[in-house]
Structure 1
């Protein structure tokens, strides 16, 4: 193997979406530390190499140090190697590779399997009277088009304009248009392994036709009268590593470029349209429905936002007029890196219970993060599909159906999983999963576009199922529609009795709703915003299950003649019969027992994200005045639970009345540090549109990882928010200095580009480095030591790494000659069988704190009973020109 080394600081790279959470860095590793198995530093970049290929997926691959996000590395073409660009990454202790909340690296802790847990599935729900999964009256026509590629901002290569169209035959008049966008997947096949992720594909490899993966759903919608088009985005998948938003803006641009073509063809340009477009009915661009899978979900949501509130021209790939109206969205296993949904466009989000790609089910934030932002009329539905994985919703990502190699994305540490392994009662087959997808895509289209309220019970938490979805268990809850908030947990809500207000994202177990140190307890509701921990402003109410809990909102709530009280209540997976009596105390002091709810947990194991709220309701009878308090009393044997929120509810789907809320976009500014004095710069913040609102901001220091969070109110006509950053000049070398600004909507605004920064360019020379032997010749059991000295202190932490290479002569020190615990702790490998250090992943390094000018690079050795000659280790410093190798000898 070949590993090159770094003698400068390692860093977070903003350009690939790296943001640090609001935590101080942990203490650095002691001198003589090594990087764990699979880790090295190559060409000045922190590098992790997997033993197996890591398929190109939608969840971002992330480097972590303990609970601190270092950044999102760029995948190399072999799909095994990941590199984080140079800069400041702090001390590299407890390194980990994560994606969608799960560990990928060899050092991942083995799960304590819950094999004795009884897997339970809640009782089947009654079938809805109207089934959107049934074929419609029309036969269909199918074809494809391929137009000239387009250039998108920041992307070097053109992106294809290619799509497959399925349309109804003989459908009268203009027909609604449904556009599908696939997610991030390998883009090429048929060549070598090194060609899987490079765009454009080079012969003999061919592009993977991911856009053809939803034909079943397209055929269903077309039979019901929709013109459907599924577009290809391989050109974005191959280049979105340059985008700080994971490619959401680029995907939005591509969606709107296709919509613009359909608007042209519908407005009299059919003579120049592709043949399949001429064979289809004219599309009605006032009735557009978007479906996005994985990063495609993030992309179509951004397209809906950009349709209502145009993005900054410099970052947008579409600059024409908006000639369409987006009526609704259906998102499958989506990413949402910015926690930035569009509150006034109705949506339904499928959360696959066996998702092994976006396994943290972060798409739940498309529902939760709309709460309180706008009018709350647009329905936002969450659909938890037990037994569905991420890939099989797309046939081109499914083994046996795809033209290219494909795989099941769910993983369970090479051991059978009681819920998600193929063949278990709860796991869906590929065909069953695709039928579920088609059925609920049609349900969302029928409700949001056709306005058929009879399908609403499938989406809004009413507890109905679609018979055409077969044996699948699909559970729903929702926000929006005809709901009035009664309890929205925050510090203004008083909680007394056997419960407490808890933080959804917290560092301390005593404050957290779920123990942050127990990775087997994961809730889609509690996914963090780009690693910010703790994250202010996100609350739930924890119920211990041992006694009644009384919740008092800041002021009594008028329910406005609502029919029922509905609660989103979460209980642990596999628990059953959790009953809670619900009572209301009105503003006159009258107590009314509303009824009892039963909540069963979802089937789950340590490998699933199964802490998810069920929606339960009780009639609001006998409550004549405003509700001043709610009381929840557990029944015998009830488990602990968490109240996400409670609402007064009426049936119906009101028109969402989409509005153009003020939009906030953050930008980046690069500045020189200078040698003296202090200059103040403003993080670029742009506000467009009209109206008032509130935004939560997080300013994170890239060197210390400390953050400040606050809310800022937006006044009508305001065009920026002042976020000053002081830059002090000096003559000390330092990399990666600056501040990152993150933004989330609180009320009355939407967030487009949600990350900004002040990046400080280093303008000081690197100090000279000398390496001198302190104990370069030791007896067995001694510690080989070299002193690393800098000619001047540095402003940020400084790494110096040694790479064992075969010595020019003599016997090489082996894995069994060094301390076995030291070797195991730092490589994840067993020292046995004995092998030369140059054939392992050991990379000893020294970390110098800011201001520190000297430290020891050490290798501890052990004694043995073998009669052997002297052994040598030779360390190279290839990334530090002019520093010769050093040798150490053990006798």
Structure 2
């Protein structure tokens, strides 16, 4: 802790309105500030993630994800979950505020960008108030704000957890490159974001604020954001902006997702709380009580320590903190016993090998696709990508151009991997060569000799590196690159024209993945954030119509001015595939045209959607990365009738009915029915039907002991595929040796929209002699 005592209080302002969100979003926050600190003090703003929003204090089993809360329910105070980190920062002289976002959490389900824009609007609305309160509006500030030092809005740190991480990242982008009007908060940014801390964050949009420094904490036992997609806050910045902003990742072994927030932690939370890492089956790395799993308090202490470290680095400018986060292998003692590994991109680094389409490899190496459905080109088997943080997919796209790494596999010691960038690179001025290398989890002492070769063919051996795999299981994402460095030589090779990197494995067979290699130097340059051209994808809603083909142009706006490029992914509307195109943004260009066609007909469907996604490639940023064309169907839903094909059979036969539509539809029509007790006949039982069929149709129930079908979860599906008039469904029965009266199964199908309920009955008689 620092030298200042702290004071704590809350404020609640008028709610804000976010476009597309029916209910206003609360503007509530808890403030922890230094007591007795003079002058303006830097501001740290915290934003929690997505959690249930309301609970019943009298019944822990009742929770809601609605807003506002229903009568008798209380809001979950997620914004109070970071008080430990707030108090630590406040003791060091920072004014801190943690804001509530229940109103966003309850309404972001249908938001194409998963609420990132709404969270940004909320953050910026609070910052705008703090800007008022730091100036002429101070007299109107809430009591806790007036009792705190005035905030220095030129020095702001944003801290976000889970979807809150994506929210503060968007707020950083929106503060530099403002969104189009109508985002939920319009007006100039009267503040400067010096850095962000992102804790177990989502990054659905793969759209980091490239020129704003960041520290991303990746929890090794995250059971919520399991793929640790926050890694893209580093990897997706390379080559996009100036490259001078430091982006750091901290892999926190043994930490789960929820426990960074005390209000999401059992035993500390006011509302119901749980461990997000699954309890069963037992996991040797992440189950509570294992040697690697942190307790909640250990995890919270480590989290607060590294939040404070980021504040000292980005806001206070203390370069002595840099080795804690930049891959130098230095740990903060106050985070003990947590084991924290770091690597970084940007800062005082110069690119050497950042694999792209021009990179080549030979020997025991191959350039691979980070995201590919083809095992021959993929960096890892496509079915195993989940455990690789660097290879996280973009909105489910299975083939993404432009993302590469180098896969190494060797069967014997000494088989060199040689990697060549597309052109010779200067490493002059760099002290060391920094490699980000991933090795398989739980492996030990994977060793390489490292060398470089210049364009004249002169080779210099730089030294050796050794890596141990991170502790992991099939339920964790532990294929994460560690940073290792070797010194660059002053003589013997021309560092102005380095042509190749050589990695020579030592020891037995193995594999590894080179994510990138950079020249490294001490220090941290000014990130010099600039307002890059910004791309936002819009929404368009149209009627399908009864005939003909209509052309539409999806709105994609470019705000700002300058050259750059962006990759667009367009959903084909049939089968879920995407096509992609690389678009060059020219200076002065303010729209990108994305044509789409809609063909009308008179066949019913629930409508369709063609998604459009955008991703920055060079010299641009994306704000609202997801949009699309929504096609509303205007045709009446066909009615469904069910008629018997064979509704009276001897046991061992199959009862069959036919479901028929009044008109062919463009979409499958499904109506589910459940058995009800017959009015005046014995009921068919669980052992009177085929056992496998019963188990499948009843969601895994066992037919034993025998019991009436109407007492089970059994369902029948009247399912007519798209483009067909009718389809049959059957109940296979079994024969036995018992003499028994005719038995019945009576199916009731509740009404579909615009239709009426249907009840049908099938009868099963004893099998003829000799057939049992």
TM-score bin, normalised by smaller chain? over 0.9
The reply to whether residue 729 of structure 1 matches residue 600 of structure 2 is: yes
Cα distance in 2 between the residues matched to 1:867 and 1:563: 91
The reply to whether residue 330 of structure 1 matches residue 197 of structure 2 is: yes
3-state SS, counterpart of residue 304 of structure 1: helix
Q: Which moved more, 1:863-872 or 1:269-278?
A: 863-872
Cα distance in 1 between the residues matched to 2:519 and 2:762: 74
Cα distance in 2 between the residues matched to 1:761 and 1:369: 35
Per-residue displacement from partner, 1:793-824 (whole Å, max 9, x unpaired)? 32334434433333334233333333323333
1:429 to 295, 298, 301: 295
**Alpha carbons 2:540, 2:629 under 8 Å: kept:** yes
Q: CA offset at residue 865 of structure 1?
A: 4.5
Structure 2, unmatched stretches of 5+, are 766-772
Please give the residue correspondences for 1:494-513 in structure 2 after superposition, counting only pairs within 5 Å. 494-513=360-379
The reply to whether residue 378 of structure 1 matches residue 248 of structure 2 is: no
Cα distance in 1 between the residues matched to 2:538 and 2:737: 63
3-state SS, counterpart of residue 721 of structure 1: strand
**Alpha carbons 1:220, 1:438 under 8 Å: kept:** yes
TM-score by length of 1: 0.82
The reply to whether residue 889 of structure 1 matches residue 755 of structure 2 is: no
Q: Which moved more, 1:180-189 or 1:578-587?
A: 180-189
Cα distance in 2 between the residues matched to 1:780 and 1:673: 49
2:744 to 865, 872, 879: 872
Map of 2:768 onto structure 1: none
Q: CA offset at residue 867 of structure 1?
A: 4.3
**Alpha carbons 1:195, 1:201 under 8 Å: kept:** no
Map of 1:578 onto structure 2: 446
Q: Cα gap change, 1:429/1:883 in structure 2, threshold over 3 Å: closer, same or farther? A: closer
1:456 to 310, 319, 322: 322
Cα distance in 2 between the residues matched to 1:443 and 1:257: 27
Map of 1:756 onto structure 2: 627
**Alpha carbons 1:578, 1:638 under 8 Å: kept:** no
Q: CA offset at residue 638 of structure 1?
A: 5.1
Cα distance in 1 between the residues matched to 2:734 and 2:498: 72
Q: Cα gap change, 1:836/1:252 in structure 2, threshold over 3 Å: closer, same or farther? A: farther
Cα distance in 2 between the residues matched to 1:841 and 1:366: 45
Please give the residue correspondences for 1:377-776 in structure 2 after superposition, counting only pairs within 5 Å. 377-412=244-279, 414-518=280-384, 522-546=387-411, 547-621=415-489, 622-625=492-495, 626-637=497-508, 639-776=510-647
**Alpha carbons 1:297, 1:332 under 8 Å: kept:** yes
Map of 2:30 onto structure 1: 164
Cα distance in 1 between the residues matched to 2:383 and 2:646: 40
Map of 1:828 onto structure 2: 700
2:7 to 125, 141, 162: 141
Cα distance in 1 between the residues matched to 2:15 and 2:579: 43
Q: CA offset at residue 846 of structure 1?
A: 5.0
**Alpha carbons 1:703, 1:738 under 8 Å: kept:** no
**Alpha carbons 2:659, 2:719 under 8 Å: kept:** no
Q: CA offset at residue 510 of structure 1?
A: 3.2
Q: Which moved more, 1:759-768 or 1:176-185?
A: 759-768
Q: Which has the higher contact order (CA 8 A, sep 6+)?
A: 1
Map of 1:30 onto structure 2: none
Map of 1:126 onto structure 2: none
Cα distance in 1 between the residues matched to 2:626 and 2:284: 40
Cα distance in 2 between the residues matched to 1:587 and 1:243: 52
Q: Which moved more, 1:691-700 or 1:788-797?
A: 788-797
2:137 to 269, 277, 287: 269
Map of 2:68 onto structure 1: 200
Cα distance in 2 between the residues matched to 1:325 and 1:887: 71
1:358 to 218, 225, 237: 225
* Paired positions, count: 754
Per-residue displacement from partner, 1:421-465 (whole Å, max 9, x unpaired)? 111111111111111011000111111111111111111111110
Q: Cα gap change, 1:160/1:730 in structure 2, threshold over 3 Å: closer, same or farther? A: closer
Per-residue displacement from partner, 1:269-314 (whole Å, max 9, x unpaired)? 2222122112211110000000001111111111111111222322
Cα distance in 2 between the residues matched to 1:240 and 1:429: 31
**Alpha carbons 1:545, 1:640 under 8 Å: kept:** yes
3-state SS, counterpart of residue 415 of structure 1: coil
Q: Cα gap change, 1:538/1:802 in structure 2, threshold over 3 Å: closer, same or farther? A: farther
**Cα RMSD (Å) of the superposition?**
1.9
Per-residue displacement from partner, 1:635-670 (whole Å, max 9, x unpaired)? 112521111111111122111111111111111111
The reply to whether residue 239 of structure 1 matches residue 111 of structure 2 is: no
The reply to whether residue 862 of structure 1 matches residue 727 of structure 2 is: no
Cα distance in 2 between the residues matched to 1:166 and 1:840: 55
Structure 1, unmatched stretches of 5+, are 1-134
3-state SS, counterpart of residue 802 of structure 1: strand
Q: Cα gap change, 1:368/1:817 in structure 2, threshold over 3 Å: closer, same or farther? A: farther
Q: CA offset at residue 417 of structure 1?
A: 1.6
3-state SS, counterpart of residue 133 of structure 2: helix
Q: CA offset at residue 538 of structure 1?
A: 2.1
Cα distance in 2 between the residues matched to 1:693 and 1:823: 59
Q: Which moved more, 1:692-701 or 1:193-202?
A: 193-202
Cα distance in 2 between the residues matched to 1:474 and 1:866: 69
Q: CA offset at residue 498 of structure 1?
A: 1.9
**Alpha carbons 2:443, 2:469 under 8 Å: kept:** yes
Please give the residue correspondences for 1:51-66 in structure 2 after superposition, counting only pairs within 5 Å. none
Q: Which moved more, 1:817-826 or 1:375-384?
A: 817-826
**Alpha carbons 1:155, 1:242 under 8 Å: kept:** no
Q: CA offset at residue 494 of structure 1?
A: 1.2
Per-residue displacement from partner, 1:749-777 (whole Å, max 9, x unpaired)? 11111112112221223334332222222
**Alpha carbons 1:331, 1:350 under 8 Å: kept:** yes
Cα distance in 1 between the residues matched to 2:737 and 2:587: 80
Map of 2:206 onto structure 1: 339
3-state SS, counterpart of residue 217 of structure 1: helix
3-state SS, counterpart of residue 661 of structure 1: coil
Q: CA offset at residue 594 of structure 1?
A: 1.4
Cα distance in 2 between the residues matched to 1:653 and 1:807: 79
3-state SS, counterpart of residue 562 of structure 1: coil
Cα distance in 1 between the residues matched to 2:654 and 2:33: 74
**Alpha carbons 2:52, 2:63 under 8 Å: kept:** no
User: Which of these two proteins has the greater Rg computed from alpha carbons?
Assistant: 2
3-state SS, counterpart of residue 410 of structure 2: coil
**Alpha carbons 1:200, 1:235 under 8 Å: kept:** yes
**Alpha carbons 2:751, 2:757 under 8 Å: kept:** no
Q: CA offset at residue 205 of structure 1?
A: 2.5
Cα distance in 1 between the residues matched to 2:371 and 2:693: 34
Q: Cα gap change, 1:202/1:842 in structure 2, threshold over 3 Å: closer, same or farther? A: same
Cα distance in 1 between the residues matched to 2:11 and 2:215: 29
Cα distance in 2 between the residues matched to 1:363 and 1:819: 48
**Alpha carbons 2:659, 2:720 under 8 Å: kept:** no
